[in-house]
Each structure stands twice: as C-alpha cells, then as structure tokens.
Chains A and B, each alone.
Chain A
Amino acid sequence: DSGVTQTPKHLITATGQRVTLRCSPRSGDLSVYWYQQSLDQGLQFLIQYYNGEERAKGNILERFSAQQFPDLHSELNLSSLELGDSALYFCASSPRQALGHYNEQFFGPGTRLTVL
C-alpha cells in the first residue's frame, strides 16, 4: 500500500457524460500528479499540482481539468466523455519538492474508467 488513495476504483458511464476522479496523496506530500494509461497510448502524464498550484502540464485534453484543494486532495474532471477516454487513471504523490529538487513518486491503485 503506497498510502495514496483513489476513488472510485471503477467507473462505468456513457459517452457525453462528465465524471470526477478523486485522489488523496500520502500524508505530508504536497505534489500530486495525474496519469492516464490506455491500451494504445501507454502511460501518459496529464498534469501536476504542487501545494494547490498547477506546476506542469502534459497531454491533457481541453475537456479534462484538475485542481488541488487546500487539504491537498486532488480531483480530475473529465467531461464530454468519448469512447477513447476509457483508460486507467492514476494519481501519484511525492514529498515537498523545492524547485530544482526531485523526489520519488508513489502511485495510487488507479480508477478504471469505462465509457460505453
């Protein structure tokens, strides 16, 4: 158990719908990362937050958005869902991270999203 929690574990929804995935980082970790794992694209970085602020952005679609709240949990919002959004979505966290310093990332169990 990495200490990172994600809910829900599984989510089945229809095209055009909107869903919210939730992540709680390890106690004390300030950084949260979101990744998408699909069969054809592999594991891809989406976005990172550090202490409530967006720090880095990857291949995140405009239909997707995220935020990190004052209690450090994070939510990933996916809207206007398409069949191709079906994937495993991972959240990871890492400790306090001053600029220029890098730390190990710990991954949650993932949320498996199926869009029908």
Chain B
Amino acid sequence: GIQVEQSPPDLILQEGANSTLRCNFSDSVNNLQWFHQNPWGQLINLFYIPSGTKQNGRLSATTVATERYSLLYISSSQTTDSGVYFCAVEYGGTYKYIFGTGTRLKVLA
C-alpha cells in the first residue's frame, strides 16, 4: 500500500515565526487534504489540494503531484496554531484516506 510520511515529526516555534511542513507519498494520489487536530481532538479541514497551490490567510499549501509531495506553510504563527497537522491521501480508487503520522507543532508565546 501507499506510504505517507510527514516531516518534521515535532516542531517548536516562537510566536511570529514561519514554518514549512512536508508530506511525502509513495504513489500517485487522487485526493489530498491537510488537517489540523486541535488540543481538544477536533480535526479541522485546512486544505483540499490534490494539486496546485492554495492560500487561506496565514496558511498556504502546495501539492506537486508528479513529484509526490505536498507542503503546508504557516506564516506569523500564533499559539492557537498549536496541535497536530496531518496530511491524508486517497489513492487508486480506494475511496479511503491514508493519514500520515503527523507533525506536532507547539507555538510558544
């Protein structure tokens, strides 16, 4: 099956710093989403991005499907950005998401 790897596994930032999170996948995908899991466990949709680039406020994402990776950029980080960031991919007509292991982000005030 497909492998989905995220890096870095852990990240600590000072408030106001920028960061880049990476998601690598081992096979072609039909679908890719980025999620933020907040400290209360809720999974929040960030981007639906099987290819191309999208921006939403301080967050942006780029997926280069031909090279099998996606990047999530967080600019001017805030303490509320803390939590775990997951990418999830759907591939091969399976209709199921395979989640990466996540990047745990902590933003310090």
Are the CB atoms of B98 and A45 closer together than 8 Å? Answer: yes
Smallest CB–CB gap between B12 and chain A, Å?
21
Q: Mark B89-107, 1 if CB is under 8 A from A, else 0.
A: 0100111111101100000
Smallest CB–CB gap between A99 and chain B, Å?
8
Are the CB atoms of B33 and A105 closer together than 8 Å? Answer: yes
Q: Mark A34-66, 1 if CB is under 8 A from B, else 0.
A: 010000001111001010000110100000000
In the bound complex, what is the Cα–Cα distance between A106 and B97 (angstroms)?
12
Contacts of B31 in A (CB 8 A): 102-104
Q: Tell me the dominant secondary structure on chain A's binding face.
A: strand
Are the CB atoms of A45 and B97 closer together than 8 Å? Answer: yes
We find that the number of chain B residues with CB closer than 8 angstroms to chain A is: 22
- Any A CB within 8 A of the CB of B66: no
Contacts of A90 in B (CB 8 A): 43
The bracket for how many chain A residues form the interface is 20 to 34
Smallest CB–CB gap between B100 and chain A, Å?
8
- Any A CB within 8 A of the CB of B56: no
- Any B CB within 8 A of the CB of A28: no
Contacts of A104 in B (CB 8 A): 31, 33, 45, 48
**10 A-B pairs (CB sep. < 8 Å):** A33-B96, A42-B102, A43-B99, A44-B99, A45-B97, A104-B33, A104-B48, A105-B45, A109-B42, A110-B42
Known contacts A45-B98, A88-B41, A107-B42; 5 further A-B pairs (Cβ under 8 A):
A42-B101, A43-B88, A45-B96, A105-B45, A110-B42
